[in-house]
Structure 1
Amino acid sequence: MTQIVVDTTKCVGAAQCVLSAPDLFDQDDDGFVLVLEENPTGELAQSAATAATLCPSQAITVQD
């Protein structure tokens, strides 16, 4: 099972995750990452991996 883990202390609010995977990520009122689906499957799991790669602060980890 795929699990998305975020370290909000590392998030810089660049929103690359939201732009690359809007079904999985959003931003709170302060601009920091929110995970909408912690355990994505199928194509969404691949989107999560892409978002983790694009995150400039390396705040997103995808575990299988």
Structure 2
Amino acid sequence: MRITIDRDRCIGAGQCVLAAPAVFTQDDDGLVTLLPGHEDAAGDPGVRDVPMSCPVQAVALADD
């Protein structure tokens, strides 16, 4: 699974971090970013919930 983040669209709501805190974090500006080593996070059960929980759909998933 590939995770794509549109940081221009991100508004810093933090729903991605709540859904999958082992994969996502927020930077100093409050924008979503991946934690190191989680570019392929298919094993985290919360990751699949992130695109729907993001109010601006700034995170997309694609099956490789």
Common fold: TM-score over 0.5: yes
Question: Which runs of 5 or more structure 2 residues have no equivalent in the other structure?
Answer: none
Residue 38 (structure 1) aligns with = 39
- SS of residue in 1 equivalent to 2:46: helix
Give the equivalent residue in structure 1 for 2:7. Answer: 8
What does the per-residue CA deviation read over 1:14-37, in whole Å, with 9 as the maximum and x for residues that have no partner?
Answer: 000001110010000000001121
Total equivalences in the alignment: 61
Give the alignment's TM-score, normalised by structure 1: 0.88
Inter-partner Cα distance in structure 1 for 2:52 and 2:31: 17
Higher helix share: 1
Structure 1 segments of 4+ aligned residues over 2 angstroms from their partners: none
**Coordinate RMSD, CA, aligned:** 0.9
> TM (normalized to structure 2)?
0.88
Q: Percent identity?
A: 43
Q: Find the counterpart in structure 1 of residue 20 from structure 2.
A: 21
